[in-house]
Copies of this chain bind each other. A is one copy, B any other.
Amino acid sequence: MEETDVKEKILKGAEELFKKYGVRSISMDDIARHLSVSKKTLYQHFADKEDIVTMACKAHLEKNAKEFERVMETAKNAIDELAKLSVCLKRNMQDLNPSLLFDLQKYHPRAWAEWVNHKNKFIRCSVVRNLKQGIEEGYFRPEIDPEVIASMRLELVQLAFDEEIFPREQFRLTEVQMQIFDHFVYGVVTDKGRKLYQKYKEVNHHQPSTIL
């Protein structure tokens, strides 16, 4: 196998484990066992667990960005984009361990910095652009300030992971994210946008696999 293939395989395997169990509880031993490789192989490609966490986080965010870009390219308008993102978000949240994000913040500053950078650059730009486009198309309320509403949206993505605010014995991550996402959309739309969002949601609900 090519060296880059091995590296990618390790990152993919580590990502699977982190998503399922969070980052904190997963050791180099766990990763080696999950991939049926020796620990020596892991250390040939990565300095330590911190290195794997950072690289896996980076790879995951790049994959996410590509997925979002595909949505933007194929979306017919700002509302269609949100309806499609809603399906992606739901899929991405399912089976995700809610402690993942705050594990990074507390124990993996380099990976956390990757997320903050992704949030403040890529996601912020996408949200602001979507809001401006929706206003121009007459689907979003012209009174909204795209910069304020985008900043709010970015924080809310993160908020849903906060177990102090949404304790896991009371709330499910996917449920919280979807409640907050839907509230976000209803908060920005005009009457015309609202009708269209409901229509798209209805369609995606019946044919979720065709949206991308």
Contact = CB atoms under 8 A, between A and B. Distances in A.
Interface of A: 141, 143-145, 147-149, 151-152, 155-156, 159, 165-166, 170-171, 175-176, 179-180, 182-184, 186-189, 191, 194
Interface of A is mostly: helix
Contact of A152 (B148, B180, B188): B180
B166 A159 contact: no
Contacts of A183: 144, 149, 152, 184, 187-188
Contact of A179 (B145, B182, B189): B145
A166 B148 contact: yes
A165 B151 contact: yes
A80 to B, nearest CB: 20
A152 B156 contact: yes
A25 B157 CA distance: 34
Of A179, A182, A184, A188, most buried by chain B (CB within 10 Å of CB) is: A179
Nearest to A187: B187
A174 B155 CA distance: 19
